[in-house]
Amino acid sequence: QYSVLSKEMINAYKKTNYEVFTEQPFTLNIDIFSERLSLIYKENSVETACFITAYNPFSEKLTLEDNKAFQEKLLQNIIHSGNQFFEGIGVDPKGEWEGEPSFLILGISKEEAIEKGKQFKQNALVWCNKNCIPQLILLR
């Protein structure tokens, strides 16, 4: 699929560790089956999830205050939608960029996930369907 994002940026997203803060924290990695996610699906009777942040819209580095304000809006949006969710953080394994606080939203449709990603001006999000293999979805 065509994207305005650079190959470097797309590769950075693919290499990111998407850490989820459940009772036993775990990490999602693009294109790698997550045993832990499958258990969370069973525990919560869902078959989908999306890992998303509102930090740094379109990869423009914002102040911490602005990022926190956007993240709070996303949190209120998720609470309003009624979906179960966990907090998390997207972390660069090389430590070249700061981690971005995120949410793993359970039981969300792919369409809703993409809509949220676009609403919060994100370049990409992580989509997980019932096969529990996280996929990178480019939004631009």
Interatomic CA distance for residues 87 and 12, integer angstroms: 21
Interatomic CA distance for residues 31 and 17, integer angstroms: 12
pLDDT at 131 > cutoff 70 = yes
Q: What are phi and psi of 92, to 5 degrees?
A: -75, 120
So what's the pLDDT on residue 1?
Answer: 57
Query: 100: buried, middle or exposed (CB in 10 Å: 19+, 13-18, 0-12)?
Result: buried
C-alpha dist (Å) from residue 124 to 36, 74, 80, 127, 135? 23, 15, 22, 10, 10
Tokens 């939203």 belong to residue: 105
Query: For the ranges 16-20, 87-91, 95-99, which has the lowest average pLDDT?
Result: 95-99
Contact of 112 with 128, CB cutoff 8 Å:
no
pLDDT at 2 > cutoff 80 = no
What is the rounded average pLDDT of the residues 54-81? Answer: 96
pLDDT at 42 > cutoff 80 = yes
pLDDT at 22 > cutoff 90 = yes
pLDDT at 46 > cutoff 70 = yes
Look at the pTM and tell me if it is higher than 0.85. Answer: yes
Contact of 27 with 20, CB cutoff 8 Å:
yes
Residues in the chain: 140
